[in-house]
Amino acid sequence: MGLELKIRADLPGFTLDVEWSMKNELLVLFGYSGSGKSMTLQTIAGISRQGDGYVKLNGRMLFSKDLAINLPPQKRSIGYVFQDLALFPHMTVRQNILYGARGVDRKAACEKCTELIELFRLPGQEDKYPHEISGGQKQRVAFARALIRQPDLLLLDEPFSSLDNPLRLEMRRCLISVLKEDFRVPTVLVTHDVLEAYTLADRVLIYSNGRVIQSGLPQEVFNNPVNHEVTSLVNLKNLYPRYLFT
């Protein structure tokens, strides 16, 4: 069980070449912008359909160049939270969440939706439109919408990047509790925020220039960077002196 992949894609001026696997855990892809993290997520989800290799989820081949398999995103059962959240502006909070429940029986979906609204502390916001709610609430709607169908895998592409710091901390706690206690779905989170990687990850992969240059438990990676590049990436002191060391 879990996710296994090997992706090689040649793009103008950039080559993505990664191979890794994960179990039922929260895996963080960490690295600078443009290092291939989002591209990896898009390939897993089937939104980007170029390149070689394979993507295998829970023993099911989603993509394989050799076997000529390339399932469309519709058939992959993957929850995806985009960086800009991609809430549907013409749908209310409830409609947005329910939209995620395709293929679920209507009554069950409504019950599940009410449950998620409670879980993500959204009561009272059900009939509001995305432009009427706060950034943190939008975030929680996006999570609820991605989780309602109980996907086999959850992909989070820098989901907290648009929030300010206090809210970001709160959302991280919210996400952790939901994932550990309520859903237990394998999750890949992309970030270039070192603190986020450190606090959320069960395991970290360090991305650089389209390759994985180090992987392991957060403490291992952050305490024993394999080379200068990782050192500069994970240097908490340089990046976050205000929060951690004052």
Partner 1 sequence: MEPVLFSIGLSLKVALVATFFVIIFGCAFAYLLAQKSFPGKEVLDVCLTLPLVLPPTVTGYILLVLLGVNGVLGKYIYALTGYTILFTWQAAALCSFIVSMPLMVKTARAAFESVDIRLIQASFTMGYSEVQTFFRIMLPLARRGLLAGTILSFARALGEFGATLMLAGNIPGKTDTMPLAIYADVASGEWSRAWGMVLLFILMSAAFLYAANKLAGRQAWA
Which residue, 105, 94, 111, 100, is CA-closest to 78?
100
User: Tokens 């609430």, residue?
Assistant: 137
Does position 183 interact with partner 1 (CB under 8 A)? The reply is no
Q: Which of 76, 140, 168, 172 binds partner 1 (CB under 8 A)?
A: 76
Provide the minimum distance between the beta carbon of 171 and partner 1 in the complex, in angstroms, as a whole number: 19
Does position 12 interact with partner 1 (CB under 8 A)? The reply is no
Provide the minimum distance between the beta carbon of 240 and partner 1 in the complex, in angstroms, as a whole number: 29
Does position 213 interact with partner 1 (CB under 8 A)? The reply is no
Does position 71 interact with partner 1 (CB under 8 A)? The reply is no
Interaction with partner 1 in 103-162: which residues (CB under 8 A)? 103, 129, 145, 149
Does position 50 interact with partner 1 (CB under 8 A)? The reply is no
For partner 1, give the closer residue by CB, 160 or 222: 160
Provide the minimum distance between the beta carbon of 191 and partner 1 in the complex, in angstroms, as a whole number: 18
Residues found near partner 1 in the complex (CB under 8 A): 45-47, 72-80, 82, 84, 86, 88-90, 99-100, 102-103, 129, 145, 149
